A and B are shown apart, each in its own frame.
Chain A
């Protein structure tokens, strides 16, 4: 690994330091400017890595704030991958980065057994011992993974197809959101399929420092994406982190893998907005339903980092039955698996405190957010159900009351 991004665009203005949620939570972190572009100059000289690099959560708020377009978090992740080649990451770090590999390995165990494994206090003590905090929120495995269940759905008579990149969260823990998307796209006249070779987007692997594994996944995904793009089949994602990785990040991490043709993958909400604009998706029926939904929306950091606005908010505003307000209170703190880690748990809770308070005082009974782990963190901290915006859109369009577990 010898990619170094140019640190000299940084003017040391400290805007990123102001907006870094981790730097606010702990003075043990050198902060984005110092650990990113400033320390990069030391790295170029071969000077030993600063230990506090481990605190970067890769939440991207530094990049959102930077007026000079310095890829601060990407510099940090490249440095972490280089560091992990010298010092192999721990067993715990392997586990939290390889959710997909684990889930595949455990495929033939029933969900209840797996979930007992992640919720029994004895198991939590054991996990805590290896470094996964005993109080951190843990997702439940679904009975059947989304990708296993999808072929069983009858999707006949659709002339158009759309390829869906489900990501690990929807696939293993939250297939319901996937089915809501399938239902919505069926309404718009699209058959939805998941190409069998799609693998984890690699963002947890990057954050964990597993460069080779991330590269392997990227190579596979790029091959599938290139084939789909060549066939002019639209590809969509409903997870902001997956889409951030597949559209913006891979070119920075693995420029040598990038094909000549542009790789395109659309945001699910944005795609549905287009369907409404073209008339493919008729939302008139929604105006006759009486599913009153009142929710507060949290924009995931990895969505804000994409710089394409907040399409979910836009989409939800089409439905008179949905009263939505924006939380606008920054990062939830979880940053994928960051908040699971024993030594980061308190930081993650402290980062999210402002958001939790905003949600609690909003009086809204429901939280909407595209990101699976954001929802996990928010639901645990606020005791309010948290759902994907697509679930609300389906409920409003179908006139079907929400059932939230």
Chain B
């Protein structure tokens, strides 16, 4: 089959979905082709903007952003565009009645510090109400509640580690295990199983009963992310009002309940914008003449399954984990356009400190200020291809806590650029 569209987005992770939505918002006809469902559904759904600078946790991401090296994606876009991207993203969430917010301190937008199941604190920026941790730091009595059969969260470990932090010197932590609402399970219960159960009437009543027994005695109750599967935050605010107690979710390991909530929200919006999705499509052929990509195709056994003609393409295929970059023992490659990946700066293999930043995380494709791919001499390689998300190099999302922030900033701008180049009026 052959399709024609204004903008083709390859990839359906946070960068791809944001790019698709921003191009559609500017009046483009958009097709999203994806191989795999993207990383959103295994994430917390938090938008980390910039949580650490030079290995130090920071409160004001905007201030630190101005100090980043010029090759960093944020520097390429400039703080203003990053801010615009986030505003636009927040507007989408608000339109879908999603309850995301940014914490305020002294009239400034700042990072929140979110407790994890391991009893650590992680900085993040744009977060859902269920993760609002503002009360945690002033609470006197905190309960960490697990659920029987949910092996991901050990309340005792979490409480023990939190209690060691200087922030909680005045706080007393207690723990409990709620009885499981799932009668017999063959597999280990996940937060997702519980969240889906809580989305039902019986599940909600189970949770209300469990929380009700402790609500009077504690200022904050920390639970795994089980407060339903909708991003509306309705259940969270209902529980907080009813119990007069601040119930708050912990960050945990995949499957990512928060990410699923966000993904559903974005996909619902995309459907409303008449964005078309092509699933399980491995785009592996690009026909380029000069600097212009004429079409891309999914080829299997020498047969073209699908050919897509797009005026402009947003490449949001992800990094090494997402499948956009491919590694061999000594190099990293981009396979669709065979774009050059700058060599890893420093030691490719093991580093002596496994927890420190690793140069491989910085690895990725080079882009210019319009997010078009460039070579080592900064010559533009393709005039109608724009990059978004993790395939771009020059930043370390793990070390900086900037993963989804870069995804949304570059995704939004790539979408705007693609719309612009497709002849649509777009201001950026």
Chain A residues packing against B (C-beta within 8 Å)? 11, 13-15, 17-19, 23-24, 27-31, 34, 52, 63-69, 248, 262, 264, 267, 270, 273, 277, 304-311, 314, 328
Q: Assess whether A307 is in contact with B187, with CB atoms less than 8 Å apart.
A: no
B360 at the interface (CB under 8 A from A): no
Expressed in whole angstroms, the Cα–Cα distance for A253 and B278 within the complex equals 26
Q: Assess whether A64 is in contact with B279, with CB atoms less than 8 Å apart.
A: yes
Q: Assess whether A307 is in contact with B192, with CB atoms less than 8 Å apart.
A: no
Q: Assess whether B1 is in contact with A314, with CB atoms less than 8 Å apart.
A: yes
- Which of B36, B41, B186, B281 is A29 in contact with, Cβ under 8 Å? B186
Measured CB to CB, the nearest residue on chain B to A23 is: B187
By a CB distance below 8 angstroms, the chain B residues around A264 are 303
Main secondary structure of the interface of B (DSSP, over half): loop
- Which of B186, B190, B279 is A307 in contact with, Cβ under 8 Å? B279
By a CB distance below 8 angstroms, the chain A residues around B189 are 27
Q: Assess whether B41 is in contact with A306, with CB atoms less than 8 Å apart.
A: no
Expressed in whole angstroms, the Cα–Cα distance for A270 and B186 within the complex equals 42
Q: Assess whether B271 is in contact with A13, with CB atoms less than 8 Å apart.
A: no
CB distance from A203 to the nearest CB of B (A): 17
- Which of A19, A30, A65, A328 is B187 in contact with, Cβ under 8 Å? A30
CB distance from B338 to the nearest CB of A (A): 19
Q: Assess whether A309 is in contact with B302, with CB atoms less than 8 Å apart.
A: no
B254 at the interface (CB under 8 A from A): yes
By a CB distance below 8 angstroms, the chain A residues around B42 are 13-15, 18
By a CB distance below 8 angstroms, the chain A residues around B323 are 67-69
User: Interface code B181-222, partner A: CB below 8 Å = 1, 0 otherwise?
Assistant: 010111101101100100000000000000000000000000
Q: Assess whether A34 is in contact with B187, with CB atoms less than 8 Å apart.
A: yes
Q: Assess whether A14 is in contact with B254, with CB atoms less than 8 Å apart.
A: yes
By a CB distance below 8 angstroms, the chain B residues around A67 are 35-39, 318, 321-323
B176 at the interface (CB under 8 A from A): no
Q: Assess whether B1 is in contact with A273, with CB atoms less than 8 Å apart.
A: yes
Q: How many residues of B contact A (CB 8 A)?
A: 42
CB distance from A382 to the nearest CB of B (A): 20
Q: Assess whether A270 is in contact with B36, with CB atoms less than 8 Å apart.
A: no
B301 at the interface (CB under 8 A from A): yes
A-B pairs with beta carbons under 8 Å apart, 30 shown = A13-B254, A13-B321, A14-B190, A15-B36, A15-B37, A15-B39, A15-B41, A17-B190, A18-B192, A18-B256, A19-B41, A27-B182, A27-B193, A31-B187, A52-B186, A64-B279, A67-B38, A67-B323, A69-B35, A262-B302, A267-B1, A270-B1, A277-B2, A306-B280, A307-B35, A307-B281, A308-B305, A308-B306, A309-B306, A314-B3
Q: Knowing A17-B192, A27-B184, A264-B303 are in contact, say whether A65-B255 is a contact too (CB < 8 A).
A: no
By a CB distance below 8 angstroms, the chain A residues around B305 are 306-308
B260 at the interface (CB under 8 A from A): yes
Interface-central residue, B42, B182, B321, by most chain A CB under 10 Å: B42
By a CB distance below 8 angstroms, the chain B residues around A262 are 301-303
Q: Knowing A15-B42, A28-B184 are in contact, say whether A309-B281 is a contact too (CB < 8 A).
A: yes
Measured CB to CB, the nearest residue on chain B to A16 is: B37
By a CB distance below 8 angstroms, the chain B residues around A23 are 187
Q: Knowing A63-B280, A273-B1, A309-B278 are in contact, say whether A17-B36 is a contact too (CB < 8 A).
A: no
By a CB distance below 8 angstroms, the chain A residues around B37 are 15, 18-19, 64-67
B298 at the interface (CB under 8 A from A): yes
Expressed in whole angstroms, the Cα–Cα distance for A14 and B298 within the complex equals 25
Given A307-B35, A307-B300, 8 more A-B residue pairs with CB atoms under 8 Å apart are A15-B39, A27-B189, A29-B186, A52-B186, A63-B280, A67-B322, A262-B303, A308-B305
CB distance from B267 to the nearest CB of A (A): 8
For the complex of A and B, 6 pairs with smallest distance between CB atoms: A67-B36, A27-B185, A307-B280, A65-B37, A308-B305, A14-B254
